[in-house]
Structure 1
Amino acid sequence: MQIMQSIGQALLMAFNMFWEILWPLILGFTLSGMVQAVVSHQTLARTLGDDGPKSLTFATLFGITSSSCSYAAVALARSLFQKGASFTSAMVFELASTNLVIELGILLIVLLGWQFAAAEFVGGILMVILLALIFRFTLTPRLIQSAKIHAEKGIMGRMEGHAAMDMSVSGDSFWQKLLSRNDLTAISNYFVMDWASVWVDIVIGLLIAGALAAWVPDTFWRIFFLTNHPTLAKIEGPLVGPLVAIVSFVCSVGNVPLAAVLWRGGISFGGVVSFIFADLIILPILDIYRKYYGWKVMGYILITFYLTMAAAGYVVEFLFEALGIIPQNRNVVAIGAGIQWNYTTILNIIFLALASILVIRFIRTGGLPMLRMMGSTKHEMPQEHAMQHHDR
């Protein structure tokens, strides 16, 4: 009986967090779909051919406008690399597409506060710069050639089909594309496909967060995160944050609820930021790097990504402390609050209606077959979905 009550408490906390983040997720994926609908994959490949400042800037901007699914970002990065993008630009695109996307920022604001969203943006830009510098001095032509040879083998990872689908609409200008009569179809496609690609991570993240919040006592977190030693806690946080992420198996926006639990438990501000950054080095994705690029390049990515994530966490910690804007309140409302008649419930109802419109549009315009192709290779996909999606 006690076990059942404990499980029920964990599930209740997971649902409470889900209810709190529902409307931000719908809003974020809708805005992301609007941007993806006007930027084609062909445009990406043409502008990321080297590791100069211009290409890296475009890699960052394109990453910000892409899907937040870590698996799709990794698959698309390999595709861009195969089509001629530099390895550095492909990796920068990866970082931006999971750490600087619209939906992540909205989710952080709602669940943890604007300071965390600002830290994620500042830290993400800093991480791009650090990674480019590290690659410039340590990435050898032999390592790039090894990555290229393995990438050309075309070994499957996850979400290959989703990464290969280019459903952007055609048009002469940005506004012409955005306001075209078929833009709603493209937005609905991206909205549903992005949800389909990350819902497992969101559910796992909520369940883990709910279990940790319900079952792990506060005394454990205080000891683990050295809360009685503030200086040591600041040193430990950015180092241990990515390590927790690596073994949590949760990526993309799904790790934000877990970040909220870690923050309530006492991890440092920089530790939260580095934990969220580390969705690209969790164990399943490291295995995909091994398949895509080989063992040596996988190890190189792990080491360089970890160093940049930890370094960004430290810089954000001390910068925001100097500015006096690190939150002092560690209470996370979403962990304990239930459904109430408040602005959250009203916004959830409104955005659920919006989601329903997009899902219905997706189904009525023949989108269901695309869901079955999400795990396919580009070669297994019909040509009209592998290439640019034109107005219909």
Structure 2
Amino acid sequence: MEQVAEAFLTGAGMLWKALWALIFGYAVSSAIQVLVTREQMAGLLGERGLRPAALAGFFGFISSSCSFAALATSRTVWVKGAHPANATAFLVSSTNLVIELGIVLWVLLGPGFMIANLLLGLLMMVYAYGLMALWLPGGLARTAREHAARQQEEEEGGHEEAGEKSWRRVFTMEGLHEIAMAFVMEWRMVWKEILFGFTVAGFISVFVPQAFWSWLFIGQSDDPAFLAVVQNAMVAPVVAFFTFIGSMGNVPLAAMLWSRDVSFGGVVAFLGADLVAATVVWVHAKYYGWRYTLYLSFLLYLAMVAAGVTVHYLYALSAMLPAERPALGEMVRFAFDYTFFLNLLFLGLAAFLVALHQSRAGARQEEAPEGGRA
């Protein structure tokens, strides 16, 4: 029982340290979502090329969200006319270049990992785009798009995204209500993933011995050989497949792997591996069918392995490889420090946005009977 309590305490401590960053990141992400519609994005991403690819990455960044929301948005962008390579670049960007992910990485592991994750996302986009340029069966992509269009039509029942998006709406009452609605929706989709991720990290840190990680990831040292870096980067996404966790839930697990002496390249590859988690693969199969899903998953796997190894050696050549490997127990600090006051501040912001959302939801329920009589 003592070990179970220690596991829960470790996970809760990591969550406490990252809580303000999570709220801040999702609040910013929600505000950004009032800027541009998915139809506007798709209209600019219809052709293959450097400019549309860069725009896809930018739109993915400003649409940053949890993995499952990113899957749905990527499907919509593709169905509405984006080239599949641009839709894939959008998907990678919207799951790896997310604002809240970078902030939490900074808080838990330091700025080096935040920058590494940024490089990982950019390189994954480049590698995935290049691989799709080399091999993208036209018939496979066409069938997958048709499958996605039918699936989306069944889910939405013809509902279209409404309302003109503009940065000015952020400063209006209507815009604040939209931000509050997006914020609540984001948390409804991601809170289980976040809790599960931090809890699993706590339990693994307590119950899984170092001998297992030494067996699974070869060459554990401060200066691993090239073969060890490649093997770590190849194995880490396989671990992510079986954890069933998305991008935000992967952060505490990445911290756990780093504390267990996995190479920097392996940990970085793991951060991008939410796109091959079992749950994500299943959702993709539902959207596109199994043939395209297997193609896309293998392509993304190659991209994240190559990107993880590349980032490792970019850091090694620049003498930037992190040296400290803090134990997860060091993150369990319930104290009256800056984290405590930041958490109070951002919990207040979260409460305000939830109250704003609830007031709008209540007003709509009151108006519904009158609309029905009209």
TM-score of the aligned structures, taking structure 2 as reference length:
0.90
* Alignment match, 1:89: 86
Tell me whether 1:279 sits opposite 2:274 in the alignment. yes
Amino acid of the residue matched to residue 32 of structure 1? S
> Percent identity over the alignment?
37
* Alignment match, 1:313: 308
Structure 1 367/153 Cα, relative in aligned 2: closer, same or farther at 3 Å?
farther
* Alignment match, 1:178: 170
Query: Cα offset for 1:342?
Result: 0.6
The counterpart of 1:189, out of the listed 181, 191, 195, is 181
SS at match of 1:326: coil
* Alignment match, 1:64: 61
Contact 1:68/1:253 (CA < 8 Å) preserved in 2? no
Deviations 1:232-281 (A, max 9, x none): 43232211111111111011211100110001001111111111101011
SS at match of 1:307: helix
SS at match of 1:154: helix
Distance in 2, Cα, partners of 1:118 & 1:193? 28
Contact 2:12/2:332 (CA < 8 Å) preserved in 1? no
* Alignment match, 1:44: 41
Unaligned residue ranges in structure 1 (runs of 5+): 371-392
Amino acid of the residue matched to residue 199 of structure 1? W
Amino acid of the residue matched to residue 304 of structure 2? M
Structure 1 35/336 Cα, relative in aligned 2: closer, same or farther at 3 Å?
closer
Unaligned residue ranges in structure 2 (runs of 5+): 366-374
Structure 1 308/168 Cα, relative in aligned 2: closer, same or farther at 3 Å?
farther
Distance in 1, Cα, partners of 2:53 & 2:89? 7
The counterpart of 1:153, out of the listed 146, 150, 154, is 150
Distance in 2, Cα, partners of 1:31 & 1:367? 25
Query: Cα offset for 1:52?
Result: 1.6
Query: Cα offset for 1:181?
Result: 3.4
* Alignment match, 2:112: 115
Tell me whether 1:211 sits opposite 2:207 in the alignment. no
The counterpart of 2:224, out of the listed 213, 223, 230, is 230
Structure 1 362/155 Cα, relative in aligned 2: closer, same or farther at 3 Å?
closer
Distance in 2, Cα, partners of 1:212 & 1:165? 43
286-295 or 14-23, which deviates more: 286-295
SS at match of 1:152: helix
- Tell me the matched-pair count: 360
* Alignment match, 2:2: 5
Distance in 2, Cα, partners of 1:297 & 1:329? 41
Distance in 1, Cα, partners of 2:103 & 2:329? 15
Distance in 1, Cα, partners of 2:364 & 2:232? 44
SS at match of 2:320: coil
TM-score of the aligned structures, taking structure 1 as reference length:
0.86
Query: Cα offset for 1:142?
Result: 1.3
Query: Cα offset for 1:338?
Result: 2.8
The counterpart of 2:323, out of the listed 320, 328, 339, is 328
Amino acid of the residue matched to residue 274 of structure 2? D
Deviations 1:351-374 (A, max 9, x none): 11111111111111118999xxxx
Tell me whether 1:102 sits opposite 2:99 in the alignment. yes
Deviations 1:176-212 (A, max 9, x none): 2332332221211111111111111101111110101
* Alignment match, 1:248: 243
Contact 2:10/2:328 (CA < 8 Å) preserved in 1? no
Structure 1 319/170 Cα, relative in aligned 2: closer, same or farther at 3 Å?
closer
Query: Cα offset for 1:166?
Result: 4.7
Structure 1 75/368 Cα, relative in aligned 2: closer, same or farther at 3 Å?
farther
The counterpart of 2:341, out of the listed 339, 346, 350, is 346
Distance in 2, Cα, partners of 1:191 & 1:222? 40
Root mean square deviation, CA, Å: 2.2
* Alignment match, 1:270: 265
* Alignment match, 2:292: 297
Distance in 2, Cα, partners of 1:368 & 1:8? 43
SS at match of 1:211: helix
Structure 1 272/156 Cα, relative in aligned 2: closer, same or farther at 3 Å?
farther
Deviations 1:278-320 (A, max 9, x none): 1011112112222222222111111110000000001000000
Distance in 1, Cα, partners of 2:262 & 2:126? 25
Distance in 1, Cα, partners of 2:75 & 2:364? 24
Tell me whether 1:16 sits opposite 2:8 in the alignment. no
Contact 2:64/2:97 (CA < 8 Å) preserved in 1? no
The counterpart of 1:35, out of the listed 14, 32, 37, is 32
* Alignment match, 2:51: 54
Query: Cα offset for 1:165?
Result: 8.1
* Alignment match, 1:380: none
Structure 1 367/107 Cα, relative in aligned 2: closer, same or farther at 3 Å?
farther
Structure 1 19/58 Cα, relative in aligned 2: closer, same or farther at 3 Å?
same
Distance in 2, Cα, partners of 1:189 & 1:294? 31
Contact 1:67/1:194 (CA < 8 Å) preserved in 2? no
* Alignment match, 1:389: none
Distance in 2, Cα, partners of 1:126 & 1:191? 29
Structure 1 47/277 Cα, relative in aligned 2: closer, same or farther at 3 Å?
same
Amino acid of the residue matched to residue 191 of structure 1? F
